[in-house]
Amino acid sequence: MGRQPSGYRRLFAVPGALAFTVGNLLARLPMGLFGVSAVVMIAGSRGSYALAGAVTATGLAATGMAGPWVARLVDRYGQARVAVPATLAAVLGNLALLLCVRYGAPDWTLFAAYAATAATPNIGGLSRARWAHLLRDDPAGLHTATSFEQAADELCFMLGPVLASFLTGTFFPEAGTLVGAALLLGGMLLFTAQRATEPPPRARSKAPSPLRSPGIPPLLACFAATGVVFGSLEVVTIAYADAQGHRAAAGVVLALQAAGSCAAGLLYGVRKPAGPAVRVLPRCLLAMAVLMTLPWLAAGTTGSLTVLAGALLVAGMATAPTMVTAMTLVQDRTPADRLNEGMSLVVTALLTGIACGSAAGGWAADRLSTATAYAVPAAAASVALLINGINRAVTERTGP
């Protein structure tokens, strides 16, 4: 008998896995592209990072609120029947934003147009649900798949800002949004065409909402705080690079942070977990809180974009293991027939945090200084650690 493949080769030996992964990656890439493109497009046209941050925050918050409802429909009716029309609605929202910016529509129309992108399906969650279905009897393989999916998220957030900066800087400010819309729609059509690996739709679940599952609310609070880290880092880094006279380099600098996270996520996936996820998570959160002080120190003490880029690369190495570990806990604690909804709640928490982080980062960059604004992601990472610590203390005192 031949030797069985291991690691990531083991994942793609699963029939149909490679095909749905390619489509999902294409559809997911714009998630790292839309935000940067919108900030550059709006700030360049209206001259305000605070407005750009507030608009993107509104879109993300709307997506977070609508996400669980879309996911509930996916659980009940299947991925293809729900994700395709939802994607079409999201693409129209992005195109509406582009037209409003292009033709000088009032500021309120930017908020209304970007809110329409709330229909965007949880693309990473759709892929994770397929892995959970295909590897339901293989916990080790599912750990590797979860790590791969987090690395894929980071890869998209690494390439997305670079592509956005290239498109908006080389062609015209709206180019990033146009390309992102095409990738989102094309990738989703390819992904949903792979029907053999799609989890079967389930009857209306009688299980309670994942929000009522023990341990889920504190995890969602940690995800929200982590989202503040991501949202503020993006806006503050764009503003910092712009203040240095290197706006086009912002995408590359943001890509380095995602590259550090992507590499850490891939390594984490092939290593055996150091213990139960509930015990590993505090260590991951501590590492993130410590490392997120590096960009603040680099920006405040050196004023060098190159040094900042190195600090972001190192800081990013803590985020993927944190996300993988927390996501594992969510999957363990969510009823199987409400898995899409549970993972969508994670995205809701993240997007809520990203929205708050975008707004806070934009405010700090405008009102304080771009270097001081890096205190926002550092503080958010510390809050995530504090939330987890308080929850553990309460759980140990009262019992699960």
Q: Is residue 1 part of a domain?
A: no
**pLDDT at 39 exceeding the cut of 60:** yes
**pLDDT at 4 exceeding the cut of 60:** no
Q: Is residue 2 part of a domain?
A: no
Higher pLDDT, 23 or 173: 23
By percentage, how much of the chain surpasses pLDDT 90? 23
Higher pLDDT, 285 or 214: 285
Structure tokens at 10: 């083991």
Residues 6+ apart with CB under 8 A from 168: 36, 37, 40, 41, 44, 174, 175, 176
Summary mean pLDDT of the chain: 84
CATH of the domain at 340: 1.20.1250.20
Specify the range with the lowest mean pLDDT, choosing from 36-40, 178-182, 320-324, 341-345: 341-345
Confidence at residue 250, expressed as pLDDT on a 0 to 100 scale? 77
**pLDDT at 31 exceeding the cut of 90:** no
Confidence at residue 184, expressed as pLDDT on a 0 to 100 scale? 95
Task: Residue 127: give the domain boundaries.
Answer: 15-204+211-398
In angstroms, the Cα distances linking 166 to 172, 247, 285, 286 are 10, 11, 33, 35
Q: Is residue 6 part of a domain?
A: no
**pLDDT at 82 exceeding the cut of 50:** yes
**pLDDT at 154 exceeding the cut of 80:** no
Higher pLDDT, 124 or 60: 124
State the pLDDT confidence band at 187, using cuts at 50, 70 and 90.
Answer: very high
Kindly state the average pLDDT of the residues 147-172. 79
Higher pLDDT, 141 or 360: 360
In angstroms, the Cα distances linking 101 to 37, 170, 172, 173, 178 are 12, 18, 12, 10, 13
In angstroms, the Cα distances linking 90 to 65, 183, 190 are 14, 12, 17
What is the pTM (predicted TM-score) of this model? 0.72
CA dihedral sign of residues 351, 355, 357, 361: positive
Q: Note the pLDDT tens digit of each residue in 222-277.
A: 989 998 998 898 889 888 888 887 776 777 888 788 788 888 888 887 777 667 77
3 state SS for the chain: CCCCCCHHHHHHCCCCHHHHHHHHHHHHHHHHCHHHHHHHHHHHHHCCHHHHHHHHHHHHHHHHHHHHHHHHHHHHHCHHHHHHHHHHHHHHHHHHHHHHHHCCCCHHHHHHHHHHHHHCCCHHHHHHHHHHHHCCCCHHHHHHHHHHHHHHHHHHHHHHHHHHHHHHHHCCCCHHHHHHHHHHHHHHHHHHCCHHHCCCCCCCCCCCCHHHCCCHHHHHHHHHHHHHHHHHHHHHHHHHHHHCCCHHHHHHHHHHHHHHHHHHHHHHHHCCCCCCHHHHHHHHHHHHHHHCHHHHHHHHHCCCHHHHHHHHHHHHHHHHHHHHHHHHHHHHHCCHHHHHHHHHHHHHHHHHHHHHHHHHHHHHHHHCCCCHHHHHHHHHHHHHHHHHHHHHHHHHHHCC
Confidence at residue 2, expressed as pLDDT on a 0 to 100 scale? 45
The whole-angstrom separation of Cα 385 and Cα 283 is: 9
**pLDDT at 1 exceeding the cut of 50:** no
**pLDDT at 371 exceeding the cut of 50:** yes
Kindly state the average pLDDT of the residues 349-368. 84
Q: Which of 76-80, 146-150, 165-169, 307-311 is predicted most confidently?
A: 307-311
Q: Note the pLDDT tens digit of each residue in 308-343.
A: 999 999 998 888 888 888 888 887 787 766 777 777
Contact 136, 130 (CB under 8 A): no
Confidence at residue 384, expressed as pLDDT on a 0 to 100 scale? 93
Contact 160, 31 (CB under 8 A): yes
The identity of residue 148, as a single letter, is: F
**pLDDT at 32 exceeding the cut of 80:** no
Q: Is residue 4 part of a domain?
A: no
Structure tokens at 167: 């498109």
Q: Note the pLDDT tens digit of each residue in 46-75.
A: 888 788 878 887 887 787 778 888 888 888
* Total domain count, the chain: 1
